[in-house]
Amino acid sequence: MFRTGLLLGLLLVVISATAGFLYWKLRKSESQRIQLTEEKLELEAEIQSLNEKIKAMEAEINRKDLELAEKSKKVDELSRELAQARMRLRKYEEQGKISAREAEEMRFKLEQMSYYIQEYQGRISKLQEENAQLRARAAELEKQIQQKELQTQQVIQEKERLEIKVKAASYLKATDFRFALVRDNGKEDWDTDFRARRLHRLKICFTVLENEIAEPGERTAYLVISDPNGKVVTNFGKATEGSGYFTVMDTEQPFSAKVTFNYQKARQEVCSLYEKAPDHEWVKGTYQVAVFCEGIEIGRGRFELR
């Protein structure tokens, strides 16, 4: 007796520790999901900021391009005028049509023009250098945007993966199935092995386990009873609480019975009653009972008919 109690105690400790660890992992996943959502928003804001910077740079580059084009055109015109003026000065000097003083004044003006042309050329070189730097910076920002967009996609994928993980963890779990033959007087004979000719009403109970991740509220559980040949046992003729159809993986599937219960994050037993159709004959053998809730199977039990 002492050893049995000790073993049970150790088993309870292991179960509690395991449940605690799983709960901690689920909470950690939820925290990571929230963190990834915030990171995604931050990355999107950074991308928006970088795009605005690139637009501003493109506008500046376009402005400088126009300025460069204007200044280059002006330099070309001045260079042509300067070359023509020098040619005329030499011609006038050779033909004696201009005095030495006038020639000196003319040369002075031509030197001034040459100076201005050099200033323009210096400004053009500087603009070209600034444009090259702006284009390099814009290319760098484009690369940063591509990296940020890649990071955003990775964050989105990781967030979706965690959402699926958290969603999967939030599903309920059904276990500890119990079955009872319900007599006409309401008496319940609990067993897992029944005589087929005596079974007209079958009570099916199962335990929904505690789940801290699942949201509290009303749930509907659909019970699918399958005979030894895999055929779903139904009673569509019953006026209330009879059989019907529900959706699993976008597919309509018949159910034998259903039950609505109020889940409050605590372990609870849920029961449903299946009443055999008058024209139905039970097939002897092993029957499977699958319970579906929120579109997935949450548990399975079985009973025998002889």
DSSP 189-206: EE-SEE-GGG-SEEEEEE
Residue 295 belongs to domain with CATH number: 2.60.40.1930
What would the mean pLDDT of 158-182 be, rounded to a whole number? 82
Q: What is the pLDDT of residues 209-252, one digit of tens each?
A: 998 888 899 999 999 999 999 999 999 986 557 899 999 888 89
Q: What is the pLDDT of residues 179-214, one digit of tens each?
A: 999 999 999 999 999 999 999 999 999 999 998 888
On whether both 99 and 186 belong to a single domain, the answer is no
Which among 198, 191, 181 has a CA at the least distance from the CA of 274?
181
Residue 297's pLDDT is what? Answer: 93
On whether both 102 and 123 belong to a single domain, the answer is yes
Residue 97 belongs to domain with CATH number: 1.10.287.1490
On whether both 163 and 19 belong to a single domain, the answer is yes
Does the reported pTM lie above 0.85?
no
pLDDT above 80 for 153: yes
pLDDT above 60 for 8: no
Q: What is the pLDDT of residues 266-293, one digit of tens each?
A: 999 999 999 999 989 999 999 999 999 9
Count of domains observed in the chain: 2
- 3-class DSSP state of 126: helix
pLDDT above 50 for 2: no
C-alpha distances in angstroms, 165 versus 6, 28, 32, 48, 238?
Answer: 36, 11, 11, 30, 39
Q: Quick one: tokens of 97? A: 């049509």
What would the mean pLDDT of 58-80 be, rounded to a whole number? 71
What would the mean pLDDT of 257-269 be, rounded to a whole number? 95
Final residue of a domain: which of 148, 170, 192?
170
Percent of the chain with pLDDT over 90: 37
pLDDT above 80 for 72: no
Residues whose CB falls within 8 Å of the CB of residue 3, separated by 6 or more in sequence, listed in order: none
What would the mean pLDDT of 247-265 be, rounded to a whole number? 92
Percent of the chain with pLDDT over 70: 72
On whether both 165 and 184 belong to a single domain, the answer is no
Residue 161's pLDDT is what? Answer: 73
Final residue of a domain: which of 170, 192, 210?
170
State the residue range of the domain holding 102: 2-170
On whether both 154 and 182 belong to a single domain, the answer is no
The Cβ-side half-sphere exposure at 72, using a 13 Å CA radius, reads 11
What would the mean pLDDT of 80-97 be, rounded to a whole number? 72
What would the mean pLDDT of 146-161 be, rounded to a whole number? 80
Burial 253-263 (b: 16+ CB within 10 A, else e): eebbbbbebeb
Which of 163 and 197 is assigned the larger pLDDT? 197
Residue 90's pLDDT is what? Answer: 75
Q: Quick one: tokens of 275? A: 């009443």
Residues whose CB falls within 8 Å of the CB of residue 220, separated by 6 or more in sequence, listed in order: 258, 259, 260, 293
On whether both 50 and 71 belong to a single domain, the answer is yes
Tell me how far apart the 2 most distant CA atoms of the chain are, in Å.
Answer: 143
